[in-house]
Amino acid sequence: MRANRIERKLQELRARGEGALLGFLMAGDPDLPRSVEYARALLRGGVDLLELGVPFSDPIADGPAIRGAGARALQAGTTPERVFELVTVLRRDAGGGGIPLVLRTHYGPVLALGERNFCRRCAEAEVDGLIVPDLPVEEAGPLLEQAERYRLDVVFAATPETDEERLRTLAARSRGFLRLLLPSGGAEGKGEERWGAFVRRVRARVPNELPLLASEISQPAQMEAAVRAGADGAEALRAFAERIAEGAPPEALRELAARLKAAARARGSATPPRGPRP
Q: Determine whether 164 is an active site residue.
A: no
CB contact at 8 A, 49 and 91: no
Residue of 51, 115, 153, 232 marked catalytic: 51
Query: 99 to each of 84, 102, 167, 203, 205, how far by Cα in Å?
Result: 15, 10, 28, 26, 29
Where b means 16+ CB within 10 Å and e means fewer, 237-272 reads bbbbbebbbeebebebbbbbbbebbebbbbbeeeee
Are residues 97 and 117 in contact, defined by beta-carbon separation less than 8 angstroms?
Answer: no
Separation of alpha carbons 174 and 177, rounded Å:
6
Q: Which amino acid is at 250?
A: P
Contact 25, 51 (CB under 8 A): yes
Peptide bond into 30 cis (omega under 30): yes
- The active-site residue out of 62, 153, 232, 235 is 62
Is 18 among the residues known to form the active site? no
- Residues belonging to the active site: 51, 62
